[in-house]
Amino acid sequence: MQGKIALEEHFAIPATLADSQVFGAHVWDELRDRLTDFQDKRLRLMDASGVEIMIASLNAPAVQAIFDVKRAIEVAREANDVLAAEIAKRPDRFAGFAALPMQDPEEAARELIRCVKELGFVGALVNGFSQAGSANSARYYDLPQYRPFWRTVAALDVPFYLHPRNPLPGAIPGYEGHPWLMGPNWAFHAETAVHALRLIGCGLFDEYPTLQIILGHLGEGIPAYLWRIDHRNDWMKARHKYAAKKWVADYVRDNIVLTTSGNFSTSALNQAIAEIGTNRVLWSADYPFETISDAAEWIDAAPISEQDRLKIARTNALTLFKLKI
């Protein structure tokens, strides 16, 4: 299928490049080049797989792991300026997500405003919790100090992509001795799912009902557990004890958008569609950590209707990001 739109596709700048080496040390020469290239191999791979537009975002954890707040602000701004310059070379092929220094909610809001209003970005992508002040800190965005930031996101009417990062070293004893569980094998999904559920449970979407949060990898496992999250021990009729006013599933179906990034499983896709519908599922690859051609060949052959394929691979993204192409 031609005309695909991809939206969890990464790049790096010199200040953040080394953050990605752990996820592909054995192929680092190739991975490094793919992260820093825009106008050569990236475009050729897009052309070969029918990708018309790529919405690019900074690699992980990048800004979120810089606990020197002043430096985090500087790196976010630098990354956004680099991305804007690359988009300007091919505005017909690239769009951008803002990197944000969430260590400082006011600065994050200011940078998002700049990126949307001045640079023309279509939203933000943030790599999970932020460290601020010390390497052992972890700030999640359901905390009260982030409410003004979310007000800004809602006012700008742009989506916020909550992208994974690993938990802090030693934070979860169950991972000790099993480093293979870190990253995309498991920890990415578990960490991001908990963060997303915190945002739901704190009442954020009651206060800002138009907010749209994007989760990659077909929802970080949440769709498979929606019934159980809301109906555990159903005979006891014990409602959730949280600030939110509705069921978790209600918010997922109204305020959460899923992408197929890095999860090319037809059964997982079918479950996501069954839980939240085709209008809230978007195609992505997770380049360069996954191959664009793998993602494209999978969705092109997936046993779904042509109408659903068009929605997932193109028109849902056109609507969500208000793209004019």
The residues annotated as belonging to the active site are 286
Separation in Å, CA 274 to CA 68, 202, 257: 43, 26, 14
Query: If you write DSSP's letter for every residue of 66-126 in order, what string do you get?
Result: --SHHHHHHHHHHHHHHHHHHHHH-TTTEEEEEP--TTSHHHHHHHHHHHHHTS---EEEE
Strands 94-98 and 51-58: parallel
Classify the C-alpha dihedral 188-267-161-226 as positive or negative.
Answer: negative
Nearby residues of 68 by Cβ (< 8 Å), 6 or more positions away: none
Exposure string over 114-139, b if 16+ CB within 10 A, otherwise e: bbbeebebbbbbbbbbbbbeeeeebb
Strands 281-282 and 160-162: unpaired
Count CA atoms closer than 13 A to 314's CA, side-chain side: 16
Phi, psi of 249 (to 5 degrees): -60, -35
What the block records as the tokens of 209 is 């009902």
What the block records as the tokens of 240 is 């959730």
Q: Which of helix, strand or coil describes residue 40?
A: coil
97 and 125 Cβ atoms separated by less than 8 Å: yes
d(CA 104, CA 221): 29
